Structure 1
Amino acid sequence: MTTAVNWRKSSYSGGGEGNNCVEIANLPTHIAIRDSKTPTRATLTFPTGAFTAFVRALKTTGTPDN
């Protein structure tokens, strides 16, 4: 049985159709990531804890625009 995956884009995905972004989906034990320009191609999956730590590190470090 296949379960529907709810993909979502960042609010920072830009104007227009917002296709210059990655999308993420919460799976039961992992986070899936795909390129919004080519959604039917391969996805990357990470354990939820690893992805959470990655995002936390990004927020702590910041970006050049901050």
Structure 2
Amino acid sequence: MFSFPTEASWRTSSYTQQQNCVEVADAPGLSAVRDTKNRGHGHLAFESPGWRAFVEGVRTQG
């Protein structure tokens, strides 16, 4: 389990139309993702290299 800073700056994709998506935030060595509709339910944090590999895989695999 990773400790993630509470003051992190969260962002959504420019493709998000009605906030029905996820938000992502970065911290040193970590990236986190959370549901825009359920922000209070917490987040999932990943080591940054793993998160980048996941995002790249989604982009290339469609």
Q: TM-score, normalised by structure 1?
A: 0.78
Alignment counterpart, residue 12 of structure 1, candidates 6, 12, 15: 15
Q: Structure 1: which 4+ aligned runs deviate by more than 3 Å?
A: none
Task: Call closer, same or farther: CA 1:3–1:43 in 2, change over 3 Å.
Answer: closer
Report the number of matched residues. 58
Cα drift, residue 3 of structure 1 = 5.6
Looking at structure 2, the residues matched to 44 and 37 of structure 1 have their Cα atoms a distance apart, in angstroms, of: 15
Higher helix fraction: Structure 1 or Structure 2? 2
Looking at structure 2, the residues matched to 6 and 35 of structure 1 have their Cα atoms a distance apart, in angstroms, of: 15
- Name stretches of at least 5 consecutive residues in structure 1 with no aligned partner: none
Matching residue's letter, 1:59: R
- Calculate the aligned-residue CA RMSD, in Å: 1.4
Cα drift, residue 27 of structure 1 = 1.1
- Name stretches of at least 5 consecutive residues in structure 2 with no aligned partner: none
Q: TM-score, normalised by structure 2?
A: 0.83
Structure of greater relative contact order (alpha carbons < 8 Å, 6+ residues apart) = 2
Counterpart residue number, 2:30: 30
Identity %: 40
